[in-house]
Each structure stands twice: as structure tokens, then as C-alpha cells.
Amino acid sequence: MGKIRKFSESNNFWIELLRDFLSVATAGVILASLSQIAFGLWMPMVAVESGSMFPHIHIGDIIFDQSINRTEITTHEMGKQNGYTSFGDYGDVILYKRYGRDNTTSITHRAMYYVEEGERMWDGGPPAPYAGYITKGDNIITNPYYDQEGDISYLQPVKKDWIIGVARFYRVPILGYISVIPRKILGI
């Protein structure tokens, strides 16, 4: 008990630095644990890097994602039918791994509708090679077509196992620039 008191009351620079480090580490572990309990993810926050979801989500926003294992996805098509909206439009915004690859930047776009294998991916489009979601960014200027029509997920519906989570709550403006700016500068 005496050693703990001596450690907690010491004015030595290195011991103070160690105490500060331990305090920050403890807070991080507590926040990560609460995040895992609430969202099903150790790191539920994502910094938005592009304007593909403008005007509903902006570059530099932080959005919170809920694990796909803890929620159901409401597509734009279903949301229109039942009045469900998120982030200013019908349906859910999902975060998914591009082509299911772990080594790529994840995509945050709206789930427009679900197609079964062999079903046309859009009017006049090719049949889906397998079941999955057709997705699209909300920005009508930068994203006039579905992701599956362009290079984001060309001719590949988003498989359920590619989905990391569903965006929830509200966006936190500007805070994401803390993460976005260094990555842009370093070209990551």
C-alpha cells in the first residue's frame, strides 16, 4: 500500500509521465470496452474521406457504425415503403470492404436495394452473379450511378460478409479531419 501511495504522490517527472500514460491507456480500454458493448465494434468511429455522401455526410465528419451482427439493414427501397430514413434519405448507410478485401479503404454508401443471384442489378443491367446489395453514394454529382455500374464495386453486389457495419446516430462534423489530413498528406 505504501508503494502505491508513493507512486501516486511522486513529483518525479518520469513517474508523472508514467501515471499520465496509464491514465490514458485505462481510459482507452474503458472506451473500447464500452464501444464493444454498445456497437459490437472495438472502433465504431470512421472519418469520412470523400464527398460521395454529400449533402448528408461531409468530408471530415465522424460517423458511428454499429456492427452488422447487431442490426438489420433497411435498404432505400424498403425505407421508402415504410418511411424509415437515416442521414437525410431513405434506408441505411452501410460501411463495406471494397470487393471484400481487407487491404482497401472501406466504402460508406447507402444500401439501395437487395438483389438475388441472376436478378438484374438495375433496369437494363446485367444479372447479379450472386445475391447482395446494390449501393450508391448520395452525391448526385460525383455518384450519378450505382457503385456496381462504376469502378467502386463494378458488377459486384455487396455481399453481406463484406459489410462492416451500419452508420448510426448523427455525424460529428470536422472532427474527422484529425485523421483525414495526415493520411492525405502522407498519401495513405
d(CA 118, CA 113): 15
Tell me 68's DSSP state. Answer: G
Q: Is residue 92 within 8 Å of residue 167, measured between CB atoms?
A: yes
Closest CA to 43 of 22, 62, 71: 62
Q: Is the pLDDT of residue 110 over 90?
A: yes
Q: Is 135 strand, coil or helix?
A: strand
Preceding amide of 55 cis, omega within 30? yes
Instruction: Based on the fold, state whether residues 8 and 82 are members of the same structural domain.
Output: no
Q: Is the pLDDT of residue 58 over 70?
A: yes
Instruction: Based on the fold, state whether residues 132 and 174 are members of the same structural domain.
Output: yes
pLDDT at position 51 = 86
Instruction: Based on the fold, state whether residues 27 and 72 are members of the same structural domain.
Output: no
Q: Tens of pLDDT along 3-21?
A: 777 777 788 888 788 878 8
What's the one-letter identity of residue 73? Answer: I
pLDDT at position 85 = 96
Structural domain total, the chain: 2
Instruction: Based on the fold, state whether residues 73 and 120 are members of the same structural domain.
Output: yes
pLDDT at position 39 = 53
Alpha-carbon distance values, 159 to 72, 153, 163 (Å): 14, 11, 7
Instruction: Based on the fold, state whether residues 82 and 25 are members of the same structural domain.
Output: no
Closest CA to 121 of 95, 148, 86: 148
Range of the domain at 116: 45-186
pLDDT at position 123 = 94
Q: Is residue 177 within 8 Å of residue 49, measured between CB atoms?
A: no
Q: Is the pLDDT of residue 22 over 70?
A: yes
Q: Is the pLDDT of residue 118 over 60?
A: yes
Q: What percent of the chain has pLDDT over 90?
A: 47
pLDDT at position 178 = 66
Closest CA to 51 of 112, 149, 139: 139
Instruction: Based on the fold, state whether residues 73 and 160 are members of the same structural domain.
Output: yes
Instruction: Based on the fold, state whether residues 9 and 88 are members of the same structural domain.
Output: no
Partnered with residue 163 across adjacent β-strands are: 96
Instruction: Based on the fold, state whether residues 20 and 95 are members of the same structural domain.
Output: no
